[in-house]
Structure 1
Amino acid sequence: MTDGQINGPSGELNKPSGEPDGPFGNLDAPSAEPMSGAPESGEPESGAPDEAGLPDDPFADALALVNHVHHVNHMHYVNHARDAVPADGRATGDGGGQPPAGRMAGSARPDGRAASGRTPDGRAASGGAPDGHASPGPGLPRHFAAPQGPTASGPPSAAVPWRTARHIAGQAVPGPPPPVTAALGEALGRTLAAPLTALTDLPSFDTSAMDGWAVAGPGPWRLDQPADAPAAAEPPGILAGHAPTEALPDGHAIPIATGARIPAGATAVLRSERGEVRALSDGGRRLYAPRPAPPGQDIRPRGQECRRGDHLLPAGVLVTPAVLGLAAASGYDELSVHPRPRTEVFVLGDELLDHGLPQEGRIRDALGPMLGPWLRALGVEASAPRRLADDADTLYAALVDSTADVVITTGGTASGPVDHVHPTLRRLGAEVLVDGVAVRPGHPMLLARLAPRRHLVGLPGNPLAAVSGLCTLAEPLLRTLAARSPAAPCRTPLASAVRGHPQDTRLVPVAYREDERHGLVAAPLRFHGPAMLRGIAAADALAVIPPGGAEAGAELEILELPWSAGPSADGC
């Protein structure tokens, strides 16, 4: 990284004057949001501002009225919620989401319990979920949140805490589908459904570890090839793939190639650079060595790596190129693996173009080209994205016809006039498991069960918000379906302080760099607004910023991107 990409002492991103833009863009561009200062704006999909509080904006009010969003009333609630945040900037309770309508964040209930659903001593309040989940209300499953939108009655459902949402997504299915048998060439990227057990000894016979001579006994050793043999003649000796037919007498030597089978009687291999061949008066040749060749030198004995029946790898291991090589060496032609989850991506929006420059109020579709490769990097079978018009019947028909394990939609998850995801889910009788997550960006994401073992992940339409939804809901669900183990927790110090949302988790693009004090650190990148991709395109990972923010040097959880070559490289 170049100078100017990290927050300076003032909390702003600094760039030395006169320097050209670095790989992460012009850090002084007015469109870039500072890492410190006012918390990031809310999700434009909903037309509502961030709960961190923004000044009243007549244009925003007018836009909200057009989109049938009660902007002014929401701002009144937001201002009270902001005033309830303690002076240290951290939210009260577990930071899991908005309080119910009519009650301010952090305010006390008439019965003395905290509005977060916990008693003042931190225990779960009676009548609320013991683990901090928002109670969905009587008559509904525990994680079935009442649908939001202009036609929904009552207040919007509380957003699910970010970690809770990831847990719900990972537990949405009981496990992967039954295993299948796949040829080695088709098993890459899948997960072993059965342990890999050696079908043979490795190596299966004694082999030469070097080019040189197989020798029998102490030297010198006699070579029977005539000294005047033409150099272009086929080299005598034992080549890989050719089994020797005769035993090697004591005091004799024979040329041998790396990987060739050791002949009976041989006691060692003398490397070619360590031997000297001298001609004899009888026309023969003799091999001399400056040092004795101890028994077993440069011989790979049979079974050195494993014996037949040895346990090589457990079930659940990801099939990598190296695993394929080991399986082939062990005698396998096919493997028992879990099938790849099948996904289908529906990109919603009349305003999207699939080629050319933005024009006449329409913009390029950034999610269609991004989501397919991202899903495949997670080991998922992803078909080409389908672009659907903003039409409820079109979306309904597409969902009815889909046979994918997981359908991923982009946009339409809020409550605008053309946001059809919630009404369509109600029409399908789907069970909503997560309806809104206390995370920025990506607040209006959702997870629904369309049928047993079939799910829909609704991503917000803004690109970085969609990435947040992909890492929060889609990745844990797909990981369970693919029988992949969760990535080992990765924590890395922050290179600079990051302002947090008062109540919600934030996911901020970061890049790795070396620091004299902390070693490897995660440097927050600019251009991290919900509609921006410039930061994530230069990032190695997403840093999980807790409510209230984090100081420089604080070790935070890191969600690495699937293609990252960072500390764990397991991806989000």
Structure 2
Amino acid sequence: MRSEPTGTSAAGQPAAAPPPAGWEEARARGYAVGSAAALPVVDRSLAEADGHTLAAPLTTRTDLPAFPTSSVDGWAVRGAGPWRVVGRVLAGGAPDPLTGDGVTVEIATGAMVPEGTTAILRVEESGRTADGRVTGTPRPAPEWRLPGEEAAAGEELLPAGTPVDPALIGLAASCGHDSLPVRRPPRAALLVFGDELLTTGPPGGGRVRDALGPAVPAWLRRYGCQVRPSDVVGPVADTLSAHVSALGQALTGADLVCTTGGTMHGPVDHLHPTLQALGADYVVNTVAVRPGFPMLLARLVGADGRARFVAGLPGNPQSAIVALVSLVAPLLAGLQGRPMPTLPQVTLAEPIRGRGDHTHLALVRLDATDGAARPVRHVGSAMLRGLAGADGFAVIRPGTSGEPGARVPMVPLPLLPGERTW
């Protein structure tokens, strides 16, 4: 798998750079190496499982519900009325059977329905006789939930690879689980390269503001990563020794290290020599996609035998995000034991030009009225204005052009729960 971007051939001539990977091939490679290095399975209590990923299917330990359960407050009756009141059953109790016609017990929502009950009469639809008996007409449909109505004991409710969120935690608790086998969130770090970058204030005097240092960790969190403020380092000095030191240190505590800039072969682009010095293997070294061509993904195996990964993001901000959605998202899905991200199909409302033999990832916004995808403006590789108003990237495959009405794949931008959806 290793292929050096620079070096010397056996004949003493500079080695040729490998051809760029196709975009779909690059995604597949990223997912494959992530799956092969999937994070270990651990057992977590329900209180600790949020943000993890199921490592085994979620099944229920009993029927759901486990016993017949009243859906309303009212009266559990047997036979025809009026009914003589013989007791009360509340949630959490195990009632005695109703053993004769003409009797009833008051029942609360969620309480176990007594054996022998023929109907439940809603309290708001009931009355009383002078001697205290209950009157009324039960509705034709049963007013209780039957055992197994939601799920049968042992039934698979969610597959392995499902992200654990509050809804899943509640479902697991209702199934009788106290803990879950899960894969933990990957730990990620970010190294920002570039002496020309400012970290505060407006750009000027030949220096530009670092937009990726604040933004990339937020994107990584949306893909399920843990990124602490201390995991963001930079700008790292534009020297090989500084790069080697910073990357080596970051890899000691991270499953994935993203870097920004330095992915080409300019006078201060030190990422490739740094990866060579650290003994990395390339998974992907450049991708036939526009924007974002000079992205890369490399793998290093530590002394503990576990693989760590380096994702080289181009320095232009939009190109860096293209690298995130193209290489990092599939890699992280594999590491977490999640399925390969699927790409929904969208209909183009306007033409989007192709990029020859490269895949074109074009920023689009989905129309709220018809759902059609429309290209946004301000989409240069160094621009972020278009990205801020987009829902994702329309995929225009090599050798094609996106015509109005065409159905094409779209890479959605990742969202946190509660954020707008497309």
TM range (shorter): 0.7 to 0.9
Pairwise CA distance, 1:532: 1.1
Provide closer, same or farther for how the CA distance between residues 220 and 279 of structure 1 changes in structure 2, counting only shifts above 3 A.
closer
Q: C-alpha separation between the residues in 2 aligned to 1:507 and 1:310?
A: 41
Pairing 1:182–2:48 present: no
Tell me the secondary structure at the aligned position of residue 382 of structure 1: coil
Q: Which runs of 5+ in 2 are unaligned?
A: none
Pairing 1:377–2:229 present: no
**Counterpart check, 1:220 vs 2:82:** yes
Q: Does 1:464 align with 2:323?
A: no
**Distance change >3 Å, CA 424–CA 439, structure 1 → 2:** same
The aligned residue for residue 262 of structure 1 is 113
How far 1:484 moved relative to its partner?
Answer: 0.7
Cα distance in 1, alignment partners of residues 64 and 198 from structure 2: 56
> Which residue of the partner structure matches residue 558 of structure 1?
410
The whole-number CA distance in structure 2 between the counterparts of 1:554 and 1:157 is: 33
Q: Which among 266, 287, 290 is matched to residue 416 of structure 1?
A: 266
Q: Of 139, 156, 163, which residue of structure 1 is paired with 2:24?
A: 163
Give, in whole Å, the separation in 1 of the partners of 2:153 and 2:175.
9
List per-residue Cα deviations over 1:433-458 (Å, max 9, x = no partner): 32211111111111112225111110
Q: Tell me: CA distance 1:292–1:166, structure 2 relative to 1, closer, same or farther (3 Å).
A: closer
Aligned to 2:248: 400
**Structure 2 residue 386 is matched with structure 1 residue 535:** yes
Decide whether aligned partners of structure 1 residues 212 and 446 sit closer, same or farther in structure 2, where only a CA change above 3 A counts.
same
CA deviation profile, 1:207-260 (whole Å, cap 9, x unmatched): 101122222222222347xxxxxxxxxxx9433234446757532333322111
- What secondary structure does 1:472 align onto? helix
**Residue identity in the other structure for 1:285:** G
Report the CA distance between 1:536 and its aligned residue.
1.3
The answer to whether the Cα contact below 8 Å between 1:218 and 1:293 also exists between their aligned partners in 2 is no
- The 1:145/1:505 distance shift into structure 2, 3 A limit, reads farther
Partner SS state of residue 409, structure 2:
strand
CA–CA separation in structure 2 for the residues paired with 1:255 and 1:497: 67
Q: 1:490 aligns with which of 322, 329, 344?
A: 344
1:476 aligns with 2:324: no
1:304 aligns with 2:149: yes
Paired residue secondary structure (2:276): helix
Distance change >3 Å, CA 415–CA 286, structure 1 → 2: same
- TM-aligned CA deviation for residue 292 of structure 1: 4.8
Q: Which residue is 2:159 aligned to? A: 314
Q: Report the Cα distance in structure 2 between the residues aligned to 1:494 and 1:293, rounded to whole angstroms.
A: 52
CA contact 2:5–2:272 (8 Å) conserved in 1: no
| In structure 2, C-alpha distance between the alignment counterparts of 1:556 and 1:460, rounded to whole Å | 25
Which of 60, 74, 89 is residue 198 of structure 1 equivalent to?
Answer: 60
Q: Aligned letter for 2:241?
A: D
Report how far residue 524 of structure 1 moved.
0.9
- The amino acid that maps onto 2:106 is P
- Paired residue secondary structure (1:418): coil
Task: Indicate the SS of the match to 2:244.
Answer: helix
SS at match of 1:531: coil
**Residue type of the alignment partner of 2:67:** F
Corresponding letter in the other structure for 1:350: D
1:207 & 1:248 partners in 2: Cα distance? 19
Matched AA of 2:171: L
CA-based RMSD of the aligned residues comes to 2.7
Q: 2:73 aligns with which of 203, 211, 217?
A: 211
Give, in angstroms, the shift of residue 331 of structure 1. 0.8
* Secondary structure at the counterpart of residue 254 of structure 1: strand
1:286 to 127, 133, 140: 133
Q: Does structure 2 conserve the Cα–Cα contact (< 8 Å) formed by 1:147 and 1:157?
A: no
**Per-residue deviation at 1:467?**
0.4
Mark the structure with the bigger radius of gyration.
1
Indicate conservation of the 8 Å contact 2:333/2:341, yes or no: no
1:357, CA displacement in angstroms? 2.5
Q: Compared with structure 1, are the counterparts of its residues 292 and 339 closer, same or farther at alpha carbon in structure 2 (3 Å cutoff)?
A: closer
The TM-score normalised by the length of structure 1 is 0.66
Q: How many angstroms apart in 2 are the aligned matches of 1:182 and 1:317?
A: 15
CA change 1:160–1:314 in 2 (3 A) is closer
| Contact 2:98–2:114 under 8 Å retained in 1 | yes
Distance 1:188 1:292 in 2: 43
Equivalent AA in structure 1 for residue 78 of structure 2:
A
| CA separation of 1:462 and 1:274: change in aligned 2, threshold 3 A | same
Cα distance in 1 between the residues matched to 2:355 and 2:39: 39
Counterpart position of 1:549 = 401
Say which SS state the counterpart of residue 379 (structure 1) adopts. coil
* Partner SS for 1:535: helix
Of residues 238, 263, 283, the one that matches 1:433 is: 283
- For residues 90-169 of structure 1, the aligned pairs below 5 Å read 141=1, 144-147=3-6, 153-169=14-30
Letter in 1 for 2:77: V
Letter in 2 for 1:386: V
**1:502 and 2:388 are equivalent in the alignment:** no
Letter in 2 for 1:508: A
Partners in 1 of 2:221 and 2:49 — Cα distance?
Answer: 14
Larger deviation, residues 415-424 vs 297-306: 297-306
1:248 and 1:266 in contact (8 A); partners too: no
* CA deviation after TM superposition for structure 1 residue 316, in Å: 2.7
Give the corresponding residue for 1:103: none
TM-aligned CA distance change 1:146 to 1:411, over 3 Å: closer
- Deviation digits for residues 477-533 of structure 1, max 9, x if unmatched? 111111110233411111100122222111111111156xxx421111111111111
The 5 A counterparts of 1:56-95 are none
Closer, same or farther in 2 for the Cα pair 1:271/1:341, shift >3 Å? same
Which residue pairs with 1:100 in the alignment?
A: none
Q: Which residue of 2 aligns with 1:524?
A: 375
Q: Which has the higher mean CA deviation after the structures are superposed, 306-315 or 477-486?
A: 306-315
SS in 2 for 1:495: coil
**Structure that is richer in strand per residue:** 2
- Deviation for aligned residue 1:389: 2.7
Percent identity, please.
Answer: 45
Instruction: Name the SS for the 2:294 alignment partner.
Output: coil
* CA distance in structure 1 between the partners assigned to 2:341 and 2:329 by the alignment: 11
Report the Cα offset of residue 359 of structure 1: 3.8
Pairing 1:250–2:101 present? yes
TM-score by length of 2: 0.88
Which stretch shows the higher mean deviation, 525-534 or 188-197?
188-197
1:409/1:459 contact within 8 Å kept: yes
